[in-house]
Amino acid sequence: MTEDRSVPLEEKQQTSPSVDTEKKDKEVKNPETPAPKKDPRSRLFRSSRMTIVAPAPHAKGKGSVPKVMYIVIAALLPAVIASIFFFGTAAMVTIMVAIFSAMVAEFACNKIMKTGLTIDDGSAILTGLLIALTLPPSFPILLTALGSVVAIVFGKQVFGGLGANIFNPALIGRAFLQASFPVKMTTWTLPAFAGADAVSGATPLGLMKFEGISTQLKPLLIGNIGGCIGETSAIALLAGGLILVILRVADWRIPLSYLGTVFLFGGALWLINPDIYPHPLFMLLSGGLILGAFFMATDMVTSPVTPLGTWIYGVGMGLILVVIRLWGGLPEGVMYSILFMNGLVPLLNRWTRPKYFGEIQEEKKKQ
């Protein structure tokens, strides 16, 4: 008879781990066995790295909302200083009232809507400052406060706060004042250096529109003319606007296309009949064009995000502005041109969206 050399199952389970351990020790102790190479792709799949799933675009940067807002406020300081220099304490009081009213309205909306305080981000300060710079020096204080409140409540908070508004809040507030108090919005006070006997008078655009008189370019550059508080000094506004472009806070395509369209379209008309149409440089330096082109039209929330969209956006504003100034019933049209194109921004972003990877091939297959 043969011997039964089978090993019970329990003994096999007990002995197998020790055998495997001995084999592993021999493999480790053997110097001829090469160490396994580390897969370089393993660093791309570290478990400690956070995975964020979100829709495009994925933009990264060191900027923040408060940083951007305070940079724009700082860029407006040359215009603020020029306004106080030319219009005195009236300009200072208007600016302070507009900013304070905007901050109070922002605080009240935060409390009522329970969205958390957003006063420290600087957006309310910037909105109030922009409204003040687009008002006449003699504008009543109470109406200035009302315009700031309307801008914050109906221009921003109604839509859900900063980032959700469709139109520029400061222009919403000014449009309300323009429609509600047209006489007071067109009552101008001339600067202190305009003349000893001069107290009030028309703006350069008003003189051009209704009397056919074109103002010289030098007063337009310096700011010693009648007009809104922060729109008269072209040099001060250009200095601040260039700061925004250099720091990439403002997209350079928007002011370039806006100003370029006004210059080319207005220049073509001037060449056709210089006796009727003003010089293109007068069109650029007068009114609130420079303020609107650099500080309002470039608002990140209400301007297109695609390069082609920004060009269409700027050209559209320029065409609307020239049409209103030369053939419309009002001497100025910066506010209306920006608000009109603000309403088209969602469509521009959709129409000018770049093709994503593989989209063109899918369209060809469907055809």
Tell me, what CATH number does 129's domain have?
Answer: 1.10.3430
Is pLDDT above 90 for 133?
A: yes
pLDDT of residue 58: 58
Residue-range definition of the domain harbouring residue 234: 65-189+207-351
pTM: 0.79
pLDDT of residue 15: 47
Give the residue, 185 or 212, on which the prediction is more confident: 185
Q: Is 325 inside a domain boundary? A: yes
Q: How many domains does the chain have?
A: 1
What DSSP string describes 127-146?
Answer: HHHHHHHTS-TT--HHHHHH
Q: What is the mean pLDDT of residues 203-216?
A: 73
Is pLDDT above 50 for 79?
A: yes
pLDDT of residue 207: 75
pLDDT of residue 218: 83
Q: Is 15 inside a domain boundary? A: no
Whether the bond between 137 and the residue before it is cis, its omega within 30 degrees of 0, is: no
Q: What is the mean pLDDT of residues 229-247?
A: 92
pLDDT band, residue 118 (cuts 50/70/90): confident
Q: Is 24 inside a domain boundary? A: no
Q: Is 75 inside a domain boundary? A: yes
pLDDT of residue 206: 76
Q: Is 30 inside a domain boundary? A: no
Q: Where are the alpha helices (DSSP H) in 181-306?
A: 182-185, 204-211, 217-222, 234-246, 253-272, 280-285, 289-291
Sign of torsion over alpha carbons 279, 281, 283, 287? negative
